[in-house]
Structure 1
Amino acid sequence: MIDLHSHLDLYPDGLALAQEVNRRNEFTLVVTTSPRAYRATSRVFAGLRNIKVGLGLHPEVSVAKQGELDDLLAGIAKAPFIGEIGMDGSPRFRGSLSIQEPIFRAALSECGRHPGKVMSIHSRGAERRVVELLATTKHAGVPLLHWFSGALAELENAVRIGCWFSVGPAMLAGEKGRALIARMPLNRVLPETDGPFTSVGGKPLQPWDAWSVREPLAEIWGMPVADIGEQLRQNLHRLLRKPG
């Protein structure tokens, strides 16, 4: 089982849960909201070989955490994964776009000095601008767009510049999400949960719940469920084999 976008550090009793996740999942990417959170989470999850931690500065907390930008940039060289970074133009966070964009641009620029990083990227409400910035910094790394919800034209541009996509049960529950996924390249899609911020039946998704995307993906792409699982594993192996 695979989860390419989890906030495992933000679950209640995350360390105990992480032990189970490490047993059940072959790969889980834990994205963080700030460099400080990255350091703490990396220490707590050290030794759990199937859990990797991404260095991030989440756009939703950009105002509060902008003072950690230097720490973010200083850490990129050694961090194996980057995330969560990006921009959020939804009504609640639109007012901080003037702070978000310079942080995102600086992160992309620094990633460009250490190419090959897998970057888990937030783009809600700012899809067009995020894709534009990625198009001008193709050397920065491998952009993995988390829960992409932009327009079809923006998706086509993202595909054209080589973006990957992480999709979860919540995205697949909606008609728009399913329509977008149907247009994503099969060999550039990976599962995610975004837990604990997404739930089913009032219960937060657990990292192993990402694997439940196989059934709806099989329906969308007209493939057997077993073949979808194999394709997702192949995609992960190919992503991790990329330079850097």
Structure 2
Amino acid sequence: MIDFHCHLDLYPDGLEVARQTNRRNDFTLVVTTSPRAYHATSRVFGRLPRLHVALGLHPEVAVAKAAELDALVGGIRGVRFVGEIGLDGSLPHRDSLPVQERIFKAALGECARQGGRVMSIHSRGAEQKVLQLIALAGPVGVPVLHWFSGALGTLEDACKLGCWFSVGPAMLAGEKGRRLAARMPMDRVLPETDGPFAKIGSAPLMPWQAMDVSHTLAELWSVELQHVRDQLSANLERLLKAGA
């Protein structure tokens, strides 16, 4: 079981959910919203070996957390995973795009200087700009676009740039998400939940539900269910080797 993008620290009773996740999942990427949250989460989850905490600064809180930029850049040297970072061009966050871009560019630049990192990247409403900044930054490592929701043409640009994608049950519940996932390279897709924010019905998705995407992906890709499960596991193994 894999969940490549989860806000595990933000669940109610997060420690108990984390313990269950550590038992159920083989690999869970716990993305964080700020360097301060990263350090707090790392202390709490540090003894759970199947949880991997990423250093992030979420674009939605870019203004509120801008003072932590130096901590983000300074911390990249000592981590394997960076996330959640990126840009959000949706209406509630559009005005903060200049601050978001300054933070994202600094993070990408440091990833490149450190020889590359595995990154979980937010791109809602700013997909083309995210790709532009990744391309300008050079060899940043492995950019994994979380819950990509751009146009099909932008998806093709992302594929050409070498991006990976993480998709979840909430994304695949919609027609647009399914249409995008059908066009993603099978060997560059990973499962995610984006819990507890992403939900099915009224219930937050739990980290052990990420692999539920296998059923939908099997239909979209016209392959057997077990083939999808094997493919997702092989993708994670290859990603971890590439980002070692």
What residue is the counterpart of 1:86 in the other structure? 86
Q: Over the residues paired in the alignment, what is the CA RMSD in angstroms?
A: 0.7
Secondary structure at the aligned position of 1:195 is classed as coil
CA offsets 1:2-46 (integer angstroms, 9 cap, x no match): 000000000011111111100000000000000000000000001
**Structure 1 runs of 4+ off > 6 angstroms?**
none
CA distance in 2, matches of 1:21, 1:183: 30
> How do residues 22-33 of structure 1 correspond to structure 2 at under 5 angstroms?
22-33=22-33
CA distance in 2, matches of 1:86, 1:201: 27
Length, aligned pairs only: 244
> How do residues 91-170 of structure 1 correspond to structure 2 at under 5 angstroms?
91-170=91-170
CA distance in 2, matches of 1:41, 1:58: 15
CA distance in 2, matches of 1:35, 1:221: 38
CA distance in 1, matches of 2:243, 2:141: 9
Task: Give the residue type in structure 1 aligned to 2:199.
Answer: S
CA distance in 1, matches of 2:138, 2:179: 26
Structure 2 contact 5–29 (Cα < 8 Å) conserved: yes
Task: Give the residue type in structure 1 aligned to 2:80.
Answer: P
CA offsets 1:63-117 (integer angstroms, 9 cap, x no match): 0000000000010000110000000000000000011001000000000111231
Instruction: Give how far 1:201 is off.
Output: 2.2
What residue is the counterpart of 1:233 in the other structure? 233
Secondary structure at the aligned position of 2:237 is classed as helix
CA offsets 1:224-243 (integer angstroms, 9 cap, x no match): 11110000000000000014
> How do residues 1-244 of structure 1 correspond to structure 2 at under 5 angstroms?
1-244=1-244
CA distance in 1, matches of 2:107, 2:237: 25
Gapped runs of 5+ residues in structure 1? none
Task: Give the residue type in structure 1 aligned to 2:88.
Answer: D
> Cα 1:8–1:226, aligned 2, differ >3 Å: closer, same or farther?
same
CA distance in 2, matches of 1:91, 1:216: 30
Please report the TM-score for the alignment, with normalisation by the length of structure 1.
0.99
CA distance in 2, matches of 1:58, 1:94: 14
Please report the TM-score for the alignment, with normalisation by the length of structure 2.
0.99
Secondary structure at the aligned position of 1:88 is classed as coil
Gapped runs of 5+ residues in structure 2? none
Give percent identity, aligned residues only.
63
CA distance in 2, matches of 1:116, 1:88: 23
Secondary structure at the aligned position of 1:77 is classed as helix
Secondary structure at the aligned position of 1:226 is classed as helix
Task: Give the residue type in structure 1 aligned to 2:152.
Answer: L
CA offsets 1:167-218 (integer angstroms, 9 cap, x no match): 0001111111111111110000000000000111211000011010000000
